[in-house]
Chain A
Amino acid sequence: MMDVGRHPRIKLLTYSEIEEISGYIGNFRIKIRRKARYVDENECTACDECVEVCPVIVPKEHQMGLASRKAIYIPFPQAVPSAHLIDIEACLGFDPIACSKCAEKCDKNCINYDDKDKIIEFDVGSIIVATGMDVYDPTEFDEYGYTRFENVLTSMEFEILTGPGGVTKGELIRPTDRKVPKSIGFIQCVGSRCEKRGNPYCSNVCCMNTIKDTLLLKEYYHDIECKVFYVDIRASGKGFEDFYRRSKGLGVKYIRGIPGDIREDPKTKNLILTVENTSKGSIEEHELEMIVLSVGLVPRYDSDVIQKLLTLSTTSDGFLMEVHPKLTPIDAPTSGVFFAGCCEAPKDIKDSVTQASGAAARALTILSQDKVKIEAVTSIIDEDKCTSCGICADVCPYGAIIVDKKAKIPAKVIEAACKGCGTCAAECKFDAIRMRHFSDEQIMAQLEAILEENPEEKIVVFACNWCSYPGADLVGISRMQYPVSPRIVRTMCSGRVDEKFILHAFELGAPIVLVTGCHPVDCHYIDAQQWAQRRVERLWDKLERKGIRPERLQLEWISASEVGKFVKTMEELEEMRKKVTREEIEETKRILSKIKK
């Protein structure tokens, strides 16, 4: 930690939040809000004299009310930067007449009650997301009495209580009588591996964490009785099985079974836990002085912020989704962005550090180059066809098109700003926009090839490159099966799916057409997806007016991880397809070819 603070090439911005990220691989522009600390972080020597004079006492964060701090404070002794800050909500100094004790005391004049948030902007070529995770809150497991019994703690609270920054300075005490407990129980998998409550996944670290805790307890307090209640112990890392064995060797009892409930003895405040010991097949009661709930890890409460800023998506468990689980496990779907640590999935320290070094190496593959190439999927304007109507400029999520409507100057594309979603091309009523590598002709030719023979047996699926197409890939990777009728046509964004394509598919005899893409929150082109929805809604009306059943055009937002939804959709559409008769298809063809003429 200290190394980071001192490193000449690391600019550390703590107490700061990201407000905006724009640009693309090699060229991101970042806007940061640096919150006011009210203490000059460079001048402050953390001498603590200000703290002594501050009259305001508030409970300290993460200490379960067992500790307090002042309005001016340092988060923990080894904090980096090693500087104080003022909790302005609690501070009285906003009104200097009321209090300005700390400012008077500080010889170095570091304290400034008028400090303001600062906006900092800079450019980078690559981004590493290392936003971490949160710890599961076990309140919903009411049978364990977490909110009712003081001597029931989470593993995180136990850690802090016994940790270096804790109130007890490493001494283990139980909250009710502040004495060293004679017995302690650990309950595993609280909030993990459960379909009904908490999370269905395994949180990866809790088994080892408990084993570690038991070893430490046995080391410091030989006589303490430790019992671990578990479903199965997952100790699959290097050397981990040894730890488990050592813990058992020291007399820690491992009891297979997850406790049903916990009662508290009102007098002793001891806890009585009931469990079905599944190895013995018996119901047992255990009286313990303290119980630790080994809680799982969950996605960070604010991870949607970063997700939006960088147009990332999450897997069904809420952690950030990588490009490929096996081959590119560090890369984010947005080029130039990489993952490190628990933001991607729960992992322990060793795995977090390993992935972080991997992410750094991935980032270096970009930074070590002078130039990067950007995919040549961009829009081109046909100036002869353009009427300067301005629609393309209105729909482009990146403001990459400039049109002067008044002067009737044709549209112009700023190539470096265009990301190639193709929404402009789909919306232009005059066919004046051509998408490189995803041209109208290319897509129409694909449709013609697919529907040349037995079109009535097929479902045409337009799937976007970022969510639904890779979603269909994941269905394959998971070896899930679905009917054979869908034919997937890839576009970069659902916003690219031109009305023309859909009508052409129907004219060629397609019984069902599906437009599928990212959910609005996942859209890789800010909000280009909305134009697909608007277009489909418009088309439903249009089809109905023409005498074509609107049901034959379907819409579904399927993310890259929603394999179940993909399969369900395909199955439902197959049922719908079977109900579209040849007569209906012929009638549609007639209607549509008449309109053309």
Chain B
Amino acid sequence: MGSETRIGVFICECGSNIAGTVNCMELMEYAKSLPDVVCVVVNRYTCAEPGQQEIRRYVCEQDLNRVVVAACTPKMHEPTFRKCVSDAGLNPYLMEMANIREHCSWVHHFDKAKATQKAKELVKSAVARARLLEPQKELEVPVTQAALVIGGGIAGIQASLDLANAGYPVWLVEKAPSIGGIMSQLNKTYPTMD
């Protein structure tokens, strides 16, 4: 891989969630004009397997070293796409998302032209950031194989039993002198009436 930056932009229609408001074709043409962008792909559902496959394919075929996914919020699919690019051999921190759904198509539903313009800028900003992204190494830390369950009501009891039966030590902490919570005060309970 040479030292030049090669960015692939993957625009998601999310069915009509994005494409119903943002003109994705216009967005695609625009994204092609951005610096270091070597390919732009529009998918119906980028997070679905065919969409992810496209990303992996383009990363290999086009020798991409940055990926921009213009789709939903990173709070939802950042882990998905990080994993996707890392399966294609790219460091996961070289993937950037442009949130053109929650922050654009869904909130500017009635002004398609302005929403498309905004989506362009969000992609432009993501590309600008992507150009400067660097690979990062995540710190790996050992896991203490025990759990804490806070609260000894019916939910805490069930969770503790499941974890303990799966073979892990559980600390169950309850504020009151006995476990049981509200349920222990109830008479028969629906739906079984016992």
Question: Do A and B belong to a common assembly?
Answer: yes
Q: Which residues of A contact B (CB under 8 A)?
A: 1, 3-5, 7-18, 24, 26-28, 30, 32, 37, 62, 74-76, 78-81, 85, 122-133, 135, 156, 159-160, 162-165, 170, 208-209, 211-212, 215-216, 237-240, 243, 306, 323-324, 327, 340-343, 348-350, 352-353, 355-357, 359-361, 363-364, 366-367, 369-378, 415-416, 436-437, 439, 441-443, 445-446, 448-450, 452-453, 465, 469-470, 472-473, 475-477, 479-482, 484, 487-490
Determine chain B's interface SS by DSSP, over half rule: mixed
Check B163 against A1 for contact (C-beta < 8 Å): no
Taking CB atoms, residues of chain A closer than 8 Å to B131 are: 445
- Give Cα A8–Cα B134 distance, bound, in whole angstroms: 48
Taking CB atoms, residues of chain B closer than 8 Å to A436 are: 134, 136
Check B187 against A164 for contact (C-beta < 8 Å): yes
From the candidates B75, B178, B193, name the one contacting A324 in the complex (CB within 8 A): B75
Residue contacts A-B, CB under 8 angstroms, 16 given: A9-B164, A10-B169, A12-B172, A14-B152, A30-B148, A163-B185, A208-B190, A367-B143, A371-B141, A373-B138, A442-B133, A446-B128, A449-B125, A481-B107, A487-B118, A489-B125
9 closest A-B pairs by CB: A341-B155, A476-B102, A79-B178, A360-B162, A130-B156, A376-B136, A356-B158, A476-B106, A130-B151
B2 at interface, CB cutoff 8 A: no
Check A216 against B188 for contact (C-beta < 8 Å): yes
From the candidates A14, A162, A165, A469, name the one contacting B179 in the complex (CB within 8 A): A14
Taking CB atoms, residues of chain A closer than 8 Å to B143 are: 26-27, 125, 366-367, 369-372
- Give Cα A131–Cα B186 distance, bound, in whole angstroms: 17
In B151-178, the 8 Å CB interface with A consists of 151-164, 166-178
Check B139 against A416 for contact (C-beta < 8 Å): yes
Given A353-B158, A416-B141, A449-B125, does the pair A132, B181 have CB atoms closer than 8 Å?
Answer: yes
Taking CB atoms, residues of chain B closer than 8 Å to A129 are: 150-151
Determine chain A's interface SS by DSSP, over half rule: mixed
Given A342-B155, A416-B139, does the pair A76, B184 have CB atoms closer than 8 Å?
Answer: yes
Given A30-B148, A132-B155, does the pair A363, B141 have CB atoms closer than 8 Å?
Answer: no
B114 at interface, CB cutoff 8 A: yes
- Give Cα A343–Cα B159 distance, bound, in whole angstroms: 14
From the candidates A4, A62, A216, name the one contacting B157 in the complex (CB within 8 A): A4
Check B156 against A128 for contact (C-beta < 8 Å): yes
Given A7-B164, A442-B133, A469-B75, does the pair A32, B173 have CB atoms closer than 8 Å?
Answer: yes
B180 at interface, CB cutoff 8 A: yes
Check B171 against A11 for contact (C-beta < 8 Å): yes
Taking CB atoms, residues of chain A closer than 8 Å to B121 are: 449-450, 453, 487
A487 (CB) vs chain B CBs: closest residue? B121
Taking CB atoms, residues of chain B closer than 8 Å to A243 are: 190-191
Check A130 against B149 for contact (C-beta < 8 Å): yes
B169 → A minimal CB distance (Å): 5
Taking CB atoms, residues of chain B closer than 8 Å to A378 are: 139
Q: Which residues of B contact A (CB under 8 A)?
A: 73-76, 93, 99, 101-103, 106-111, 114-115, 117-118, 121-122, 124-129, 131-134, 136-164, 166-191, 193
Taking CB atoms, residues of chain B closer than 8 Å to A13 are: 171-174
Check B139 against A125 for contact (C-beta < 8 Å): no
B68 → A minimal CB distance (Å): 12
A446 → B minimal CB distance (Å): 5
Taking CB atoms, residues of chain B closer than 8 Å to A363 are: 147, 159, 163
B30 → A minimal CB distance (Å): 12
- Give Cα A431–Cα B107 distance, bound, in whole angstroms: 37
Given A13-B172, A124-B144, does the pair A76, B180 have CB atoms closer than 8 Å?
Answer: yes
B67 → A minimal CB distance (Å): 15
Check B106 against A341 for contact (C-beta < 8 Å): no
Check B147 against A352 for contact (C-beta < 8 Å): no
- Give Cα A63–Cα B4 distance, bound, in whole angstroms: 76
Name 16 extra pairs, CB < 8 A, besides A128-B159, A342-B153.
Answer: A10-B160, A28-B148, A74-B178, A122-B171, A124-B171, A162-B187, A208-B191, A340-B158, A341-B155, A353-B155, A356-B156, A371-B142, A372-B140, A448-B128, A470-B73, A479-B107
Check B146 against A445 for contact (C-beta < 8 Å): no
Check A477 against B118 for contact (C-beta < 8 Å): no
B36 → A minimal CB distance (Å): 12
Taking CB atoms, residues of chain A closer than 8 Å to B103 are: 472-473, 476, 488
- Give Cα A13–Cα B110 distance, bound, in whole angstroms: 56
Given A14-B176, A374-B138, A481-B109, does the pair A4, B73 have CB atoms closer than 8 Å?
Answer: no
Check B129 against A446 for contact (C-beta < 8 Å): yes
Check B128 against A353 for contact (C-beta < 8 Å): no
- Give Cα A472–Cα B110 distance, bound, in whole angstroms: 18
Given A4-B161, A374-B139, does the pair A80, B191 have CB atoms closer than 8 Å?
Answer: no
Check B141 against A374 for contact (C-beta < 8 Å): yes
Check A350 against B162 for contact (C-beta < 8 Å): no
B92 (CB) vs chain A CBs: closest residue? A376
Check B142 against A370 for contact (C-beta < 8 Å): yes
Taking CB atoms, residues of chain B closer than 8 Å to A81 are: 178
- Give Cα A136–Cα B142 distance, bound, in whole angstroms: 43
Taking CB atoms, residues of chain A closer than 8 Å to B157 are: 1, 4, 356
